[in-house]
Amino acid sequence: MTIDDFTAGFTEEPGYLDYGRVGPLSTAAAEETLAFTQVLQRARHGSLDAFGEQDSRVRAAASALTGFPVDQIAFEPNATTGLMHAMFGLTGGVLLSAEEFPSLPIAAVRAQEALHTVQPVWLETDHGKVTPGQIREQLEQGVVAVAVSLVDSRTGYLCDIEGVRQVIGDRLLIVDAIQGFGIVDAPWEAADVVVTGGHKWCRAGWGTGILALSDRALERLTPVFSGFSATEEAEPWGHVPPPAPDARAYRVSNPDPLAQARLAAALEEIADVTVPVINAAVADRVSRVIELADEYAIPVASSRDEQERAGIVVLEPPADQVTVLTASLHNHGVTATTRLGTVRLSIHAATSEETLEMLRGAFVSYSTAASY
């Protein structure tokens, strides 16, 4: 599959720059949804067997992208569930930033409150940027794990996962990958826990996600939330067997096969075109958005270095002009996220010339209004 074939599957209207919030369904995911919905609707004799095949299919697709073995990957309904599994499964200190997207610090605190086996150790950062150097300086003796975001949702900063691995030794490295999975060619082998949802950059819709675990994670984590479908028996009637020895232990119930099919279709398409090719297309369009912001003197708060960014550009106009910029984007049909005094633009591989011209028009209106 070529990059042109891939971008042809983006059918959202021009002006959409909000993949960091939600990625509109890809054509592949939408068609898979329709096909399996019709199978379920009709329930022809023998047709339901296909639903049971989607679990192995989605795990194989995730394995192709991450390099984790199939049996060390579990489908999850969202990224937060995977993070809860990881945090509740820890014993000891976990070093993380309180400025991460709330899913991560809240999971750590809830685990501490409920089980008293994990202790959050709060990392001081450089304006939200988590770096290997900061982690090295703040590692404490009782820290058994470090948790980071692959891409920070507020700053757009791309974490140096490989650098973090080098400084933490054999401690567990937990990566919330949702803001870059599918567009960042990350060194997944450096991580012990990779958690992501499929509704953003993968464009697979809500209710989709994966939890991938290294050998070390399987050995050290305890599967606290481990339901009836998480054992080695299909239906353990009359007794309670132990959790399965692999990633199945982190299932609570039977997964939604329609959601699995959607995610599988999206991941298979990404693997077909390859993440580096997608990443190059994203990087080119991100550079063009930054150039547009510079042209109209709109301050860019996110990194300009391709090694430190993914698909997010954060604009930080003067505080009294944030509303003006937000209104200008809205009036020109540009979908973006305004949060905590900044405007976040999320750019994907298919961001079109028409979308960039709409963004230019919004910047022109903003600059005109801001000059008065």
What is the tens place of the pLDDT at every residue in 271-294?
999 999 999 999 999 999 999 999
The mean pLDDT of the chain is 96
355 and 14 in contact (C-beta within 8 Å)?
A: yes
Q: What is the pLDDT of residue 222?
A: 97
Q: Is the pLDDT of residue 369 over 90?
A: no
Question: 314 pLDDT band (50/70/90 cuts)?
Answer: very high
Question: 372 pLDDT band (50/70/90 cuts)?
Answer: low
Q: What's the predicted TM-score (pTM) here?
A: 0.96
**High-pLDDT (> 70) share of the chain, %:** 99
What angle, rounded to 10 degrees, do the helices at 322-331 and 353-370 form? Answer: 140
Q: What is the pLDDT of residue 46?
A: 87
Q: Which pLDDT tens digit goes with each residue over 10-53? A: 999 999 999 999 999 999 999 999 999 999 999 999 889 999 99
Q: Which pLDDT tens digit goes with each residue over 255-267? A: 999 999 999 999 9
Contacts (Cβ under 8 Å, ≥6 apart) of 24: 10, 11, 12, 16, 203
The DSSP bridge partners found for residue 143 are 93
CATH numbers and ranges of domains, the chain: 3-25+275-370 (3.90.1150.10), 27-273 (3.40.640.10)
Contacts (Cβ under 8 Å, ≥6 apart) of 290: 300, 304, 313
Question: 319 pLDDT band (50/70/90 cuts)?
Answer: very high
In whole angstroms, how large is the CA radius of gyration of the chain? 21
First to last CA, the chain: 50
d(CA 108, CA 211): 17
